[in-house]
Structure 1
Amino acid sequence: MNERDEVPRLDLLRFLERVQERDLARTRAWIQAEEQRLAEAAARQPPPSPPDYVVQNGLGRGPALVHQGFCEPQGARVRAIPADEARRLLSADMGLACQLCRPDTELGLL
């Protein structure tokens, strides 16, 4: 090829850009399809069962209340705990037992 027949470099770069934009659009469509598939799969899953016990922490450092898992107190200061930890907390202070769900009765502490 001589210089007259060569494609200008700028034209080649613009062609490359169009190819890459098409590839990027296709990749984005694949991502969107996968996100939709995952959302549909998650919607078909049953909700997780509640934990056996939860502790609701107070504004200070220590726990404020211990609940049975179905009681579901709201807030960011709530975390699931195993039965032995709930029993330990309630054994140390029976005032931590929720008066609605009565975890102390369920654990046999009363």
Structure 2
Amino acid sequence: MSGGGEPLSRLEALRFARRVVEEQAERQLALIDRWIANEEQRQAERRRGEEKRPEPAEWLIQYGLNRSNVDAVHTGDCWAAARSGRCRPAPRQQVLDALLQQVPACVHCRPDTALGILE
């Protein structure tokens, strides 16, 4: 730059403008690089969480509000069971026994049909 109050030449002004834009671009790229690193970390954590998640239960027993009586039987992927919040995983034999003892089968996922039990 020129010293002592002389106006900048056109060439000096263009070089100054280039330096300013270059510095701004470097700051913006650094910011975007941080965003990328954060997103990569979130995705890695999500993958680790999915890998550690236990396999879903194949069968579920739905308990009543008092948690002692059995209200219904579901397949493990039943949306209605997930909404009730009162279901616990159960082995196949326990589900079969419950159905044979007239515990109702869920009308949405039909575990009785999946187990080959006809009504």
TM-score, normalising length: structure 2? 0.51
Q: Which runs of 4+ in 1 moved over 6 A?
A: none
Do residues 66 (structure 1) and 66 (structure 2) align?
no
Cα distance, 1:100 vs. partner? 0.6
Amino acid of the residue matched to residue 52 of structure 1?
Answer: E
Question: Contact 1:53–1:68 at 8 Å: present in 2 too?
Answer: yes
Q: C-alpha offsets along residues 48-70 of structure 1, whole Å, 9 cap, x if unaligned?
A: 33211001101242111100001
**Corresponding residue for residue 109 of structure 1:** 117
Amino acid of the residue matched to residue 60 of structure 2?
Answer: V
Bigger Rg over Cα = 2
Residues 75 and 42 of structure 1: CA distance in aligned 2, closer, same or farther (over 3 Å): farther
Superposition pairs for residues 1-110 of structure 1, below 5 Å? 40=45, 42-43=48-49, 45=51, 47-60=53-66, 61-72=68-79, 73=81, 74-93=83-102, 95-110=103-118
Question: Contact 1:63–1:96 at 8 Å: present in 2 too?
Answer: no
Q: C-alpha offsets along residues 60-105 of structure 1, whole Å, 9 cap, x if unaligned?
A: 4211110000104134421000110000000010x51000110011
Residues 86 and 45 of structure 1: CA distance in aligned 2, closer, same or farther (over 3 Å): same
- Structure 1 spans left out of the alignment, 5+ residues: 1-35
Matched-pair identity in %: 36
Q: C-alpha offsets along residues 32-54 of structure 1, whole Å, 9 cap, x if unaligned?
A: xxxx9xx9373362643321100
SS in 1 for 2:72: strand
- CA-based RMSD of the aligned residues comes to 2.5
**Corresponding residue for residue 26 of structure 1:** none
